[in-house]
Amino acid sequence: MFRSKKDPGQIKMAKLATLVAHNVHISGDLEFSEGLRMDGQVTGNVAGRPGEETLLVVSDQGAIRGNVSAYDVIINGCITGDVTVAHFVELQSNARVLGNIYYQQLRMDIGATVEGKLTKLDTQSTQAALPAPAARIEHGADLATS
């Protein structure tokens, strides 16, 4: 009698193939495929591989000083830079973003802070806005900085 609706705000749980541990600090841009959990710090841009449904999770210990772009993003730490999300962004209670957020869908918990603009994008402009940085992390095996 009742049909279940698919939640359009649902994050597709990609395999978190890569972990940047809490005691790791990376200087330089990095690109990842599948999923990346950030417990450490990055000074540089962080981007999911363009055309892939990537997931970036920034824990309450994680920090990024640079621009971020991915398909789905969950933030519970600090990002100093602009965030561009092709699908869905979730700002958890400890999230702090010092920059603009460009998104398709947004969920924000009580306690999260954004010091910048929130801008909803259409599908075409989101794909054009996702830059590709120089360094890559693939399946947790390779780590390179530029």
pLDDT band at 118 (very low <50, low <70, confident <90, very high): very high
Q: What residue type is 121 in one-letter code?
A: L
Of 39, 43, 46, 42, which Cα lies nearest the Cα of 22?
A: 39
CA angle 16, 78, 132 (to 5 degrees): 55
126-145 pLDDT tens trace: 455 555 444 444 444 444 44
43-83 pLDDT tens trace: 999 999 999 999 999 999 999 999 999 999 999 999 999 99
What contacts 49, CB < 8 A, 6 or more positions away? 31, 32, 33, 132, 136
pLDDT at residue 13, as a whole number: 61
Residue 125: both structure tokens together? 């402009």
CA-based R_g, the chain, Å: 15
Q: What residue spans define the domains of the chain? A: 18-122
pLDDT at residue 26, as a whole number: 96
Q: Which helix (H) or strand (E) holds 125?
A: helix 123-129
CB atoms within 10 A of CB 83: 26
